[in-house]
Amino acid sequence: MPTCSYCEGKSFSCCEVSLSNSSRYAECVRLGRSRCDVLGDELQAVEKKVLHLRKQKKIWFKKMIRIVRRSIDSVEELERVEREEVEVEQR
């Protein structure tokens, strides 16, 4: 079971998740600690994934706008246009 930094620092052998608030440990709830980081690593991983998905969404949105603006009808045509743009940028 993961431990929060407070319980780790106090060398508690067993931390139990609070029944009233599963994002904090019972000991942290009892002590009134508002910043229990039991889900810290999991939260960071999820935030990283959300950031990645937002970047992908922005890329796809730009691509979609370009498709509509140029009246592109097929994936092949889009790939051809993208290759041409890359060639122009490399010059």
Residue 1 has pLDDT above 60, yes or no: no
Q: What value does the mean pLDDT take over residues 7-27?
A: 63
pLDDT of 80 reads 92
Q: Sorting pLDDT into bands at 50, 70 and 90, what band is 59?
A: very high
N-to-C CA span, the chain: 56
Give the three-class secondary structure for 51.
Answer: helix
Residue of higher predicted confidence among 22 and 47: 47
pLDDT of 87 reads 94
